[in-house]
Structure 1
Amino acid sequence: MQLRDYLPFWAKLDGSQQDRLNRAALYCTAKRGTILHNGSQDCVGVLVLTDGRMRTYTLSGEGREVTLYRLFERDMCVFSASCVMRGVTFDVTIAAESDVSFFQIPSDLFRELMRESAVVANYVNELIATRMSDVMWLLDQVMYRRMDARVAAALLEEAELEQSEQLKLTHEELARHLGSAREVITRMLKYLQSEGLVSLGRGAVCLLDEAGLRRLAGDSLR
């Protein structure tokens, strides 16, 4: 597994820059549930995901988690190197949502590359803009969309990720994902069950009517 296969700007770097990256980048693995980055003071470096899925989330004032976005194979996480980007304070936690493997590029080296290469700097700026768009979309969902629609959309997203209509998903996990209380999610799931859209089991949700869930989700689907 080569770092060059996961960096879209690799070919634009000179030989010295490529060599520094190869020597400094660490190849890492982590088990599901591992916290990989915890807050803006935790500058662990840039993470380049090679396999698995990571979850980026923040905490509300009441201590509730809400998922901001997920990271997949070939995604790059720059907010884990917050010290690289002056003026950008984005207090997030990044956790392994499945077993993961990734390259970890030291913050100091990545800062040097951004100073030396306009291509790298532009890529990072575009990536930050994309992530901020994700956050603004989420803000709209939290403030203006009904919870039943958000729950329906979240279930459809999980089904697509897992490639299954049988989801091993607890009410608490869904509540953390949506930034809500478990009691609220339980009430919403029971409503969806009464409408024949899902069936509920212990630690599981089965999607029965995908078309109906899509109609309910509406604009809460990405």
Structure 2
Amino acid sequence: MNQVNNHQGTANYEFLSLIPFADKMSAEGKRLLAQSIQFAEFPAGTILKTEGEKPNQMPILVSGSIKVFKASPNGKRLTLYHLEKGNTPCLLAAYSILKNKNFPAEVIVDQSCEVIIIPADTFRTLYRKEISVQRYVIDLGMHRINHIFTTIEQVAFHGVDERLASFLLEKFTENKISKSHKRKLDMSHQEIAREIGTAREVVSRLLKNFEKENFIRMARRSIELVNY
């Protein structure tokens, strides 16, 4: 993992407010956490973790976006979930650390991000001693497992056209909720294919069909939803 602008101090208490479970920890736990954590910045495209790596860090995202995905030997990718500011951190990192298992997926920076890094040994210690950390891991598991099972269900039981339509609707709904009200999705066909676990050619063909039905309008690296 390439760390950029990495800052480490003996008492990083100012970062504790950015860690979701820190507020309810004991004074001893807060002290251990403050003495152990690091703050780092990563540019877009940075590979944070590759499949099979030993678990050595628990990342807490402060800003930006991170993607967790599985890659097949033939180059296909299936996105498992995204980490974004304000949502729950990485379930697979917590699982790998607590079970001492190799990391089962790959992690890449989508948008330049700021991350608080908790060493694996510190996270294990806090999990053993702090109820708030235990509850956090349980809540994290419930949240992410539901999302991952939804992804598996879509791949196993739904056609690619349904997955693509669902993905587009989800993205446009996110834009509406975030009040950006963007009618365009700025993604390439290859990027969309990686998100839904199929080939670029399949996405291009289906998007052309959607355009013929007047559901969308396409331009270079953008898709506009009609009558949205």
Report the TM range for the smaller structure's normalisation.
0.7 to 0.9
Which residue number in structure 2 is paired with residue 215 of structure 1?
Answer: none
Which residue number in structure 1 is paired with residue 14 of structure 2?
Answer: 2
Q: Is the 8 A contact 2:21 2:132 kept in 1?
A: yes
Matched position secondary structure for 1:62: coil
Q: Which of 127, 133, 137 matches 2:150?
A: 137
Aligned length in residues: 210
User: Is 1:104 aligned to 2:122, yes or no?
Assistant: no
Which residue number in structure 1 is paired with residue 51 of structure 2?
Answer: 39
Which residue number in structure 1 is paired with residue 200 of structure 2?
Answer: 182
Name which of structure 1's ranges 84-93 and 99-108 shifts more when overlaid on structure 2: 84-93
Which residue number in structure 2 is paired with residue 54 of structure 1?
Answer: 66
User: Aligned-residue CA RMSD in angstroms?
Assistant: 2.1
Matches within 5 A, 1:201-220: 201-210=219-228
| TM-score of the superposed pair, with normalisation by structure 1 | 0.85
Q: Is the 8 A contact 1:37 1:44 kept in 2?
A: no
C-alpha deviation, 1:102, in angstroms = 1.3
Q: Is the 8 A contact 1:48 1:102 kept in 2?
A: yes
Matches within 5 A, 1:114-193: 114-161=127-174, 163=180, 164-193=182-211
Aligned CA distance change for structure 1 residues 38 and 150 (closer, same or farther; 3 Å)? same
Name which of structure 1's ranges 151-160 and 113-122 shifts more when overlaid on structure 2: 151-160
Q: Is the 8 A contact 1:52 1:73 kept in 2?
A: yes
Matched position secondary structure for 1:209: coil
Q: Is the 8 A contact 2:51 2:102 kept in 1?
A: no
C-alpha deviation, 1:15, in angstroms = 1.4
C-alpha deviation, 1:59, in angstroms = 1.6
- 1:2-43 Cα deviation digits (max 9, x unpaired): 332223322321112111211211111111121112124242
Aligned partners of 1:161, 1:2: CA distance in 2, in Å?
31
Aligned partners of 1:2, 1:65: CA distance in 2, in Å?
38
Which residue number in structure 2 is paired with residue 198 of structure 1?
Answer: 216
User: Is 1:71 aligned to 2:83, yes or no?
Assistant: yes
Name which of structure 1's ranges 121-130 and 80-89 shifts more when overlaid on structure 2: 80-89
- 1:28-61 Cα deviation digits (max 9, x unpaired): 1111121112124242411111111111111235
| TM-score of the superposed pair, with normalisation by structure 2 | 0.83
Aligned partners of 1:2, 1:159: CA distance in 2, in Å?
36
Matched position secondary structure for 1:55: strand
Q: Is the 8 A contact 1:54 1:98 kept in 2?
A: yes
User: Is 1:86 aligned to 2:121, yes or no?
Assistant: no
Q: Is the 8 A contact 1:49 1:73 kept in 2?
A: yes
What letter corresponds to residue 192 of structure 1 in structure 2?
A: F
Name which of structure 1's ranges 66-75 and 85-94 shifts more when overlaid on structure 2: 85-94
User: Is 1:30 aligned to 2:48, yes or no?
Assistant: no
Matched position secondary structure for 1:43: coil
Structure 2: segments with no counterpart, 5+ residues:
1-12
